[in-house]
A and B are shown apart, each in its own frame.
Chain A
Amino acid sequence: MMDFTAFDLPGIDLSWCPGCGDIKILDSIKKALVELGLGPLDVVMVSGIGQAAKTPHYMKAHFFNGLHGRALPNATAIKAANPALEVIALGGDGDMYGEGGNHFTHTIRRNPGITNLVFNNMVYGLTKGQASPTSPIGFRTSVQVDGVHAQPFNPLAAALAQGATFVARAFAGNGDQTKEIIKRAVRHKGYALVDIFQPCVSFNSVNTYKWFMDNTYTLEGHDEDDFGKAMELALLQEGPFPLGVLYRKEGVPVFEETLAAYRKDDRPLFRREAPRKAVKELLASPAI
Chain B
Amino acid sequence: MLFSSLENRRDVCCVLCGAAGLGIQTVEDMLAGIIADEGFCVFGSREYMSRVRGGNNSTELRIASEPVDALIDRIDILVALSQKVRRNIMERISADTVIFGDREELKGELEDLGASFVNIPLSSMAKETGGKIYSNSIAAGVLLGVLGLGTKGAEEFYRKRFAGKNDVVTRNIGAVTKGYELGLSIAGEGGVLQGRPRNSGRRKTILNGSDAVSLGAMAAGCNFVTAYPMSPATGVLSFFAKHAEKVGAVVEQVEDELAAMNMAVGAAYAGARPLVTTSGGGFALMAEGLSLAGVMETPVVVHLSQRPGPATGMATRTEQADLELALYSGHGEFPRALYAPGTMESAFRLAQEAFEIALKYQTPAIVLTDQYFMNAFYNLDADGLSWLDEPPPIPETAAEYRRYEDTPDGYSPFGVPGWGKGVVGADSHEHDEVGHVYEDFDLRTRMQDKRMRKLAGMTARALPPMLVGPESFSNLVVCWGSTIPIVREALQRLGRNDTALLAFEQVWPLAPSVGDLLRKATFTAVVEGNSTGQFAGLLRKTFGVAADRRVLKYNGLQFSVEEVADRLGEILPGKGGSR
Chain A positions near chain B (C-beta within 8 angstroms)? 40-42, 44, 46, 49, 54, 56-57, 60-67, 69-70, 73-78, 80-82, 84-85, 102-103, 105-106, 259-261, 263-265, 268-276, 278-284, 286-288
Q: Give A287's nearest chain B residue, CB to CB.
A: B160
Given contacts A73-B262, A102-B256, contact A261 B249 (CB under 8 A): yes
Q: Are A81 and B207 in contact (CB under 8 A)?
A: no
Please, how many angstroms separate the alpha-carbon atoms of A44 and B426 in the complex? Answer: 11
User: Which of A44, A67, A76, A269 has most B Cβ within 10 Å?
Assistant: A269
Q: Are A81 and B267 in contact (CB under 8 A)?
A: yes
Q: Are A66 and B248 in contact (CB under 8 A)?
A: no
**Could you show 27 A-B contacts with beta carbons less than 8 Å apart?**
A41-B418, A41-B423, A46-B266, A57-B436, A65-B425, A65-B429, A67-B288, A70-B258, A74-B266, A74-B269, A76-B263, A77-B262, A77-B274, A78-B267, A78-B269, A103-B255, A259-B250, A259-B251, A260-B244, A261-B251, A264-B248, A268-B271, A269-B270, A276-B387, A278-B247, A279-B218, A283-B205
Q: Is the interface of B mostly helix, strand, loop or mixed?
A: mixed
Q: How far is the CB of B351 from chain A (nearest CB, A)?
A: 11
8 tightest A-B contacts by CB? A270-B271, A274-B221, A77-B266, A74-B266, A81-B270, A77-B263, A62-B417, A106-B255
Q: Is B215 an interface residue (CB 8 A)?
A: yes
Q: Is B112 an interface residue (CB 8 A)?
A: no
Q: Is B272 an interface residue (CB 8 A)?
A: yes
Q: Are B243 and A278 in contact (CB under 8 A)?
A: yes
Q: Are A269 and B273 in contact (CB under 8 A)?
A: yes
Contact digits for B149-175, partner A, Cβ 8 Å, 1 yes 0 no: 000000000001000000000000000
Please, how many angstroms separate the alpha-carbon atoms of A64 and B423 in the complex? Answer: 11
B418-452: which have CB < 8 Å to A? 418-419, 421, 423-429, 435-437
Given contacts A78-B270, A103-B255, contact A283 B215 (CB under 8 A): yes
Residue in A56, A67, A73, A283 whose beta carbon sits within 8 Å of that of B263 in the complex:
A73
Tally of chain B residues near chain A (CB < 8 A): 68
Q: How far is the CB of A137 from chain B (nearest CB, A)?
A: 29
Q: Are B270 and A275 in contact (CB under 8 A)?
A: no
Contact digits for B383-419, partner A, Cβ 8 Å, 1 yes 0 no: 0010100110110000000000000000000001111
Q: How far is the CB of A243 from chain B (nearest CB, A)?
A: 31
Residues of A near B283 (CB, < 8 A) are none
Q: Are A80 and B417 in contact (CB under 8 A)?
A: no
Q: Are B250 and A269 in contact (CB under 8 A)?
A: yes
B13-63: which have CB < 8 Å to A? 33
Residue in B204, B254, B262 whose beta carbon sits within 8 Å of that of A74 in the complex:
B262
Please, how many angstroms separate the alpha-carbon atoms of A106 and B258 in the complex? Answer: 12
Q: How far is the CB of A272 from chain B (nearest CB, A)?
A: 6
Q: Are A62 and B262 in contact (CB under 8 A)?
A: no
Please, how many angstroms separate the alpha-carbon atoms of A270 and B262 in the complex? Answer: 18
Q: How far is the CB of B297 from chain A (nearest CB, A)?
A: 12
Q: Give A275's nearest chain B residue, CB to CB.
A: B247
Q: How far is the CB of B345 from chain A (nearest CB, A)?
A: 12
Residue in A62, A77, A280 whose beta carbon sits within 8 Å of that of B267 in the complex:
A77
Q: How far is the CB of A277 from chain B (nearest CB, A)?
A: 10
Question: 17 extra interchain contacts, Cβ-Cβ under 8 A, other than A82-B417, A261-B251?
Answer: A64-B266, A67-B288, A67-B292, A74-B269, A76-B263, A78-B267, A80-B250, A82-B271, A102-B256, A261-B250, A263-B245, A273-B393, A274-B220, A275-B248, A278-B218, A278-B243, A282-B215
Q: Are B244 and A270 in contact (CB under 8 A)?
A: no
Q: Give A109's nearest chain B residue, CB to CB.
A: B255
Please, how many angstroms separate the alpha-carbon atoms of A234 and B206 in the complex? Answer: 57
Q: How far is the CB of A107 from chain B (nearest CB, A)?
A: 9
Q: Is B246 an interface residue (CB 8 A)?
A: yes
Residues of A near B271 (CB, < 8 A) are 81-82, 268-271
Residues of B near A102 (CB, < 8 A) are 255-256, 258-259
Q: Are A81 and B224 in contact (CB under 8 A)?
A: yes
Q: Are A270 and B221 in contact (CB under 8 A)?
A: no
User: Which of A76, A78, A280 has most B Cβ within 10 Å?
Assistant: A78
Residues of A near B97 (CB, < 8 A) are none
Residues of A near B421 (CB, < 8 A) are 41
Q: How far is the CB of A22 from chain B (nearest CB, A)?
A: 15
Residues of B near A70 (CB, < 8 A) are 258-259, 262, 289, 292
Residues of A near B425 (CB, < 8 A) are 56, 62-65
Q: Are A76 and B266 in contact (CB under 8 A)?
A: yes
Q: How far is the CB of B295 from chain A (nearest CB, A)?
A: 10
Given contacts A65-B437, A270-B271, contact A73 B248 (CB under 8 A): no
Q: How far is the CB of B388 from chain A (nearest CB, A)?
A: 10
B274-329: which have CB < 8 Å to A? 274, 288-289, 292, 296
Residues of A near B221 (CB, < 8 A) are 272-275
Residues of B near A105 (CB, < 8 A) are 255
User: Which of B211, B269, B296, B387 has most A Cβ within 10 Å?
Assistant: B269
Residues of A near B207 (CB, < 8 A) are 288
